[in-house]
Structure 1
Amino acid sequence: MYKQQQFIQVFEYQTLYKGNVYNNVRFEAKYFDALLKLNELHGGKYFNPVYNGIRFNSYVGVLQVGDLVIEVLPKIDGYTSQKSQWHNVLIEMLQVTQELQVNQIGETNVEQQSIHLLDIYFDWFLREVETLIHKGLIKQYYKETKNSLALKGKLEFAGHICKNLVHQERFYTSHQVYDKNHLIHQILSLALSVVERFSKGTYRYGNCKSVQLNFPEVETILADENTFKQVTYNRKNDSYKKVLELARLIILNYAPNVIFGAENMLALLFDMNELWESYVLIKLQQQAKGWIVKGQESKLFWEGKTIRPDIVLQNKATKIQFIIDTKWKNYTYDSISINDLRQIYVYNEFWNAKEGILLYPSPNETKIVITGKYARNNYIGKIGLVTVLDSKGKLNANVGRDIISFFD
């Protein structure tokens, strides 16, 4: 009999204290200790330990420790809202940035507030595997080295002498095998075992076991980043790309039995600063008609070191360029960093840009709050606010058009 999953929702920068009750769930010492170990495993980046508690930072998403699921949601300070609202905002933002393809699992499931991000990703993965099974799983050649009663392939002399000194009727050989027991399927099998482990006691467990039953028996492996680098794609296995991306996400974020005890743990978290930057970039690319929109463009700065603004805009007609540096944090005049202003100046210089903008999220307004001129070169620096939510409290779908209005 498996324990029913427990569920806590928190906002970024919120603190959970050991022993306190949240959403009718007690944050027990075993969860606190496990999360400290999990955070340590990931370089301490997910949250900051405080006395008898943990304070989340800019990472949003979901963590699972044993039977406890913690969903960390984004939020703009000063905006009163339901957690369910920001749950939907996060899912939609992940969908737009291609971190999540909600249409693969059905919109109706997403609308249920009992469905959290791990549910969505696990269901998506299982559906992708099911689709591959129905289409027919591919076979590949791989090298197999083992003892056999017949001389087949290449005789491995060193291994043969070592292993068959007594059993001279056997041959230790290497030969090519063509079947479904290859690296790609071994990776998928490992990911299925992780999903099974985290689905016990949920509606998904039976579905996962059904998929595993229809999946071929393959060699059990341990996987890390290098394992995924060994996979090469061709026309035959190109259909596996998406499911392998999901498997990679599941496997590399899984931390079983970390040092201290028996709690299975998995963290599927996204840096909200990077997610906001990606969302703004994609919306600009979709909605900035008459503009060339570039992201991740870097230039050499000093001795092999480069600089990279978040977004570069170029007007197709005038060829004038503008710089955008996105900031996912609450704007106040005192919060303006001199380092951020220096960055805008340098970006203007290296990209020969007319002006640069520090772009902050806002709960309810889109406007330029400050326009200033640098003391040299007449470069212009602006501070802009763009509303994240529309009048109905949903994610602002027109954020790209709103930002372009700053340059008219």
Structure 2
Amino acid sequence: MGGLRTVTVLEHEVIPVFEGGHLPGISEEAPRWLSEAEAQALLRLNDLRRGFCQRLSGGIKLAQHCGIVRLPTCVVEVLPKVGMADARTTDELERSRGALLAMLHSARQVAITKVGTAPQQAVRAPLLDIFIEAFLHCALDQARRGLISRYVAHANDLPVIKGRFQAHGHARRNLARPHMLHCEYDEFTADNAYNRSVRATLDACRTWIINGNTQRLWFEAHARYASISSVRMSAKDVESLPRDRTTHRYDPLLTWCELILAMASPGMSAGTTLAPGLLFDMNKLFEAHVAKYEEDSAEPDCIIHTQGPPLHLAVRGSTNVFLLKPDITVWRTDKDGANLNIQRVVDAKWKLLNPATPDFGVNEADVYQILAYATRYGCKTLELAYPMLDSIAEKNLPTFELLTEGQSTNEKTVVTVKMIPLWNIDLHNSNN
């Protein structure tokens, strides 16, 4: 991937497509354009990521997936939209990149450290460089703690018996070497599939690195894994590795191996594989980020449920219909930890608000949805959680009191709009 240009765009943005590869009057170095072949390759991703992008007159419009798409001739970096203005602001790309990294880390999608907090520290490096640096830090951290060792089966000709002597193999291989014995034995070694997956990932990403500091990190990590056999591995090979309590500390590192090796697929480099490798649905990512935020701020006698508990809204005859699964529910618990009663229902919405309108830009359908939760779960405190914008003061956020005929003041159902910080995780100090 070294030498490929990087096209950096925001979600829901339109990328111009030029038939000849560039628009007359615009230099080849212009950051935002796609050739027709690149546009077609991007559109084919819809087969795996439904609604990822669509063709419009003059360009490709992206949806809510953010991350990296590797095309044969370029790398498309898609960042979340975190600003109110229609046009990009000066530092929006850096802030967007920082917000995505913080959410990925807090939602436990990937382990990202040593990057710093945003927006206080701008994140100017492309996502690919940051992801590789995060992988290298994970690899070095595990190497310092000691590489995982496993018993690995070996078959070899030895001067003395080790393990099990194999007579048939000995007869085939050592008729002319009577002093050698063919043996099969198990050796406890760090040269196993877990560490080979790390070595394979190091080999795959070597040519992608541009930043000098990251290159130095790569050489340090490579030296730590130099004794590990260099074998070709795919993301599926890493995914199929057995996981248990003894390999738990390797989980973040193996996740990085899967993601990076998916982008190193030989089929993908030839343009035949559609797997994008490093794309994240912002709706699901923000929901996980809000859940982590609620966990961190919950009172000691509260417990957080995500995606439930699922309940049906209605019945038709003897059949339950209209399954409800709230994003987040907060429950009061007793001293034994059992659920006592529901305190709040929180619905996460990866959308931008509009303070200039009476309803603050809250979508009617979102209110109807959360009202269904209130009816079925018997909860009168409802919250719609949106990403925080600097231009909106928290004290100005609206609270909607729902109008219900004959309902007393104490029984009012209230929908509160709340904003969730996108940069509330300190990546230097977080141990999640």
Q: Sort the TM-score into its range (normalised by shorter chain).
A: 0.7 to 0.9
Aligned to 2:428: none
Is 1:32 the equivalent of 2:39? yes
Greater shift, 75-84 or 371-380, is seen at 371-380
Aligned to 1:54: 60
Distance in 1 of aligned mates of 2:269 and 2:105: 35
Greater shift, 182-191 or 354-363, is seen at 354-363
Deviations 1:154-178 (A, max 9, x none): 5779x959x9499797987643122
Structure 1 residue corresponding to 2:363, chosen from 333, 336, 340: 336
Deviations 1:83-122 (A, max 9, x none): 2333333333334334455543556999354312222221
Which secondary structure state, in structure 1, belongs to the residue aligned with residue 231 of structure 2?
coil
Which secondary structure state, in structure 2, belongs to the residue aligned with residue 25 of structure 1?
coil
Structure 2 residue corresponding to 1:228, chosen from 217, 239, 252: 239
Deviation at 1:57, TM superposition (A): 0.8
Deviation at 1:78, TM superposition (A): 3.9
Write the letter of the residue equivalent to 1:92. Answer: A
Does the 8 Å CA contact 2:399/2:415 hold for their aligned counterparts?
yes
Is 1:312 the equivalent of 2:348? no
Does the 8 Å CA contact 2:98/2:117 hold for their aligned counterparts?
no
Structure 1 unaligned regions, length at least 5: 398-408
Structure 2 unaligned regions, length at least 5: 313-318, 335-339, 426-432
Which secondary structure state, in structure 1, belongs to the residue aligned with residue 268 of structure 2?
coil
Deviation at 1:382, TM superposition (A): 5.4
Does the 8 Å CA contact 1:371/1:382 hold for their aligned counterparts?
yes
Superposed CA RMSD: 4.5
Which secondary structure state, in structure 2, belongs to the residue aligned with residue 245 of structure 1?
helix
TM-score (norm 1): 0.73
Is 1:248 the equivalent of 2:255? no
Distance in 2 of aligned mates of 1:320 and 1:108: 34
Aligned to 1:71: 77
Aligned to 2:374: 348
Which secondary structure state, in structure 1, belongs to the residue aligned with residue 293 of structure 2?
helix
The alpha-carbon distance between structure 1 residues 51 and 295, as it changes in their structure 2 partners (threshold 3 A), is: farther
The alpha-carbon distance between structure 1 residues 315 and 276, as it changes in their structure 2 partners (threshold 3 A), is: same
Is 1:9 the equivalent of 2:8? yes
The alpha-carbon distance between structure 1 residues 226 and 349, as it changes in their structure 2 partners (threshold 3 A), is: farther
The alpha-carbon distance between structure 1 residues 203 and 341, as it changes in their structure 2 partners (threshold 3 A), is: same
The alpha-carbon distance between structure 1 residues 141 and 59, as it changes in their structure 2 partners (threshold 3 A), is: same
Is 1:177 the equivalent of 2:179? no
Deviation at 1:310, TM superposition (A): 0.9
Does the 8 Å CA contact 2:66/2:282 hold for their aligned counterparts?
yes
The alpha-carbon distance between structure 1 residues 336 and 375, as it changes in their structure 2 partners (threshold 3 A), is: farther
Distance in 1 of aligned mates of 2:120 and 2:234: 30
Greater shift, 82-91 or 8-17, is seen at 82-91
Which secondary structure state, in structure 1, belongs to the residue aligned with residue 350 of structure 2?
coil
Is 1:385 the equivalent of 2:385? no
Distance in 2 of aligned mates of 1:53 and 1:91: 27
Matches within 5 A, 1:162-311: 164=172, 174-199=184-209, 204-215=214-225, 216-218=227-229, 220-225=231-236, 227-235=238-246, 237-252=247-262, 254-258=264-268, 260-261=270-271, 267-289=277-299, 292-296=302-306, 297-299=308-310, 301=312, 307-311=324-328
The alpha-carbon distance between structure 1 residues 196 and 165, as it changes in their structure 2 partners (threshold 3 A), is: closer
Distance in 1 of aligned mates of 2:281 and 2:14: 17
Does the 8 Å CA contact 1:64/1:70 hold for their aligned counterparts?
yes
Does the 8 Å CA contact 1:3/1:67 hold for their aligned counterparts?
no
Write the letter of the residue equivalent to 1:368. Answer: P
Is 1:371 the equivalent of 2:401? yes
Greater shift, 190-199 or 226-235, is seen at 226-235
The alpha-carbon distance between structure 1 residues 240 and 304, as it changes in their structure 2 partners (threshold 3 A), is: farther
Write the letter of the residue equivalent to 2:363. Answer: I
Distance in 2 of aligned mates of 1:230 and 1:263: 23
Which secondary structure state, in structure 1, belongs to the residue aligned with residue 402 of structure 2?
strand
Distance in 1 of aligned mates of 2:342 and 2:320: 28
The alpha-carbon distance between structure 1 residues 266 and 160, as it changes in their structure 2 partners (threshold 3 A), is: same
Distance in 2 of aligned mates of 1:40 and 1:167: 60
Write the letter of the residue equivalent to 2:382. Answer: G
Distance in 2 of aligned mates of 1:228 and 1:377: 55
TM-score (norm 2): 0.70
The alpha-carbon distance between structure 1 residues 140 and 28, as it changes in their structure 2 partners (threshold 3 A), is: same
Which secondary structure state, in structure 2, belongs to the residue aligned with residue 18 of structure 1?
strand
Distance in 2 of aligned mates of 1:218 and 1:7: 32
Distance in 2 of aligned mates of 1:128 and 1:78: 35
Which secondary structure state, in structure 2, belongs to the residue aligned with residue 9 of structure 1?
strand
